[in-house]
């Protein structure tokens, strides 16, 4: 069949790509130690895609069978006029699910507009329940405002809220049970993420703070009974139900459990670079295409289809080596 008639995005390894994560800014009001160095160089604003361009690319993806879009960053909710983008993407007829990953700092005021724009799920990052430690990990964050944001979102009946926690040895590994109890109290899910070697950071040595998903699971089993579930998001998470609660706990384990064979996603950076793999450099500039052929959605769709041919088989993270990926997570769109 002629490639241009494909309604689906299928790569060389027969993986079906139906999920796009879009970073709308690399900037952030936090400076989490595992994500950024203290002094960061951000992309000059003039180099970013405009919100209209992002919406246009989102439309092209939905016309190619993408059903789920996650807006992320950096901190997506600090981009000026970003709510306009949520409203426009929320109206795309073929999109089944619009989601966001946020640090929660702006949720108190923006949870309602997100809900009104059609956002169904929110992932909120929360690594510590101790205000001082929270400040230390995020360098600038305020725990209380994040928790009020989470509680505001809870009151609005989103389809799903989930907590994401990056666990680091001797930083917050002793909080895994407290974090799970926080989620249980609120009847929401929680995922624990192993730190990934994305970009150069200055606060710690990544292999010294490595704390594996298996260690977290063992810690949790001291106080909770976990039952494996078959839930698959096409992503790196494995989920367990916590018995006698409404909470599931996920483990995102790029080191200890390779998930690439199930990969169903690609990422768009705030500068308009389509990244085919979180852990590799393969990419295509969609910004160049939409600026060369303004308004030509067929040309854009063709470039996206062809890009699937360079989606690599998988990542090759190795904590003992210098980072092979110089992009920080805030650029990649975690
Ligand atoms: N600012 C938003 C937030 O923090 O939720 C969205 C972007 S942030 C890059 C997305 C997720 O990536 C967060 O849950 C964060 O904890 C995680 N993250 C950042 N750097 C990471 C790293 N080096 N390894 C693993 N996860 C990372
Ligand atoms: Fe900002 Fe999210 Fe990175 Fe923390 S993890 S610095 S909140 S982009």
**pLDDT tens-place string over residues 78-121:** 999 999 999 999 999 999 999 999 999 999 999 999 999 999 99
What local confidence, expressed as pLDDT, does residue 262 receive? 82
Q: Which residue has the tokens 């890009």?
A: 307
Site to probe by mutation for ligand 1, drawn from 30, 42, 76, 125 as the one with most ligand atoms within 8 Å of Cβ, is: 125
* Lining residues, ligand 1, CB within 6 Å: 28, 34-35, 72-73, 75, 101-103, 125, 164, 166, 193, 195-196, 198, 329-330, 334
How many angstroms separate the CA atoms of 176 and 168, rounded? 10
Q: Closest residue (by CA) to atom 4 of ligand 2?
A: 32
How many angstroms separate the CA atoms of 247 and 235, rounded? 19
Predicted TM-score of the model (pTM): 0.92
Q: What CATH number does the domain located at 2-332 have?
A: 3.20.20.70
List of residues 6+ apart from 330 with CB closer than 8 A: 23, 26, 27, 28, 35, 36, 40, 73, 74
* Lining residues, ligand 2, CB within 6 Å: 28, 30-32, 35-36, 73-75, 103, 125, 329-330
Q: Tokens representing 233?
A: 């998001």
Confirm if 209 and 195 have CB atoms less than 8 A apart: yes
Residue-range domain boundaries for the chain: 2-332
Please give the residue that has the higher pLDDT: either 30 or 312: 30
- For ligand 1, the distance from its centroid to the CA atom of residue 279, given in whole angstroms, is 14
- For ligand 2, the distance from its centroid to the CA atom of residue 324, given in whole angstroms, is 20
List of residues 6+ apart from 271 with CB closer than 8 A: 43, 47, 48, 49, 287
- For ligand 1, the distance from its centroid to the CA atom of residue 292, given in whole angstroms, is 33
What local confidence, expressed as pLDDT, does residue 230 receive? 80
What local confidence, expressed as pLDDT, does residue 301 receive? 97
Query: Whole-angstrom distance between the N-terminal and C-terminal Cα of the chain?
Result: 35
How many angstroms separate the CA atoms of 310 and 295, rounded? 25
List of residues 6+ apart from 100 with CB closer than 8 A: 70, 71, 72, 76, 77, 86, 114, 119, 121, 122, 123
Q: What is the pLDDT of residues 238-297, one digit of tens each?
A: 899 999 999 999 998 766 556 788 889 999 999 999 999 877 778 899 999 999 999 999
Say which ligand is closest to the CA of 194. Answer: 1
Say which ligand is closest to the CA of 325. Answer: 1
Q: Closest residue (by CA) to atom 4 of ligand 1?
A: 103
How many angstroms separate the CA atoms of 265 and 232, rounded? 13
């Amino acid at each position: 069949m002629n490639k241009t008639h494909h309604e689906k995005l299928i790569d060389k390894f027969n993986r079906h790509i139906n999920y796009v994560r879009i970073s709308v800014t690399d900037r952030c009001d936090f400076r989490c130690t595992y994500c950024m160095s203290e002094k960061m160089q951000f992309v000059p604003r003039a180099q970013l895609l405009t919100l209209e361009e992002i919406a246009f690319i989102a439309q092209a993806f939905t016309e190619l069978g993408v059903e789920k879009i996650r807006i992320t960053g950096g901190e997506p909710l600090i981009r000026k006029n970003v709510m306009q983008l949520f409203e426009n993407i929320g109206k795309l007829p073929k999109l089944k699910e619009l989601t966001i990953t946020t640090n929660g700092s702006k949720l108190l005021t923006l949870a309602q507009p997100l809900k009104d724009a059609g956002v169904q799920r929110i992932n909120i990052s929360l690594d510590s329940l101790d205000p001082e430690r929270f400040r230390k990990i995020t360098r600038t964050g305020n725990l209380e405002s994040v928790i009020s944001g989470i509680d505001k979102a809870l009151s609005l009946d989103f389809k799903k809220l989930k907590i994401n926690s990056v666990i680091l040895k001797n930083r917050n590994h002793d909080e895994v049970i407290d974090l799970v109890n926080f989620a249980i109290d609120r009847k929401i899910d929680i995922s624990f993420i192993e730190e990934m070697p994305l970009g150069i950071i200055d606060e710690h040595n990544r292999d010294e703070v490595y704390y594996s998903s298996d260690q977290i699971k063992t810690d949790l089993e001291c106080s909770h009974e976990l039952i494996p579930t078959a839930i698959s998001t096409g992503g790196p998470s494995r989920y367990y139900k916590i018995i006698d609660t409404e909470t599931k706990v996920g483990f995102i384990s790029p080191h200890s459990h390779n998930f690439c064979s199930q990969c169903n996603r690609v990422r768009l950076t705030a500068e308009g670079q389509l990244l085919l793999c979180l852990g590799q450099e393969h990419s295509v500039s969609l910004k160049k295409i939409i600026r060369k052929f303004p308004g030509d959605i067929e040309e854009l769709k063709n470039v996206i289809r062809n890009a699937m041919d360079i989606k690599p088989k998988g990542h090759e993270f190795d904590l003992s080596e210098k980072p092979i990926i110089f992009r920080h997570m805030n650029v990649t769109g975690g």
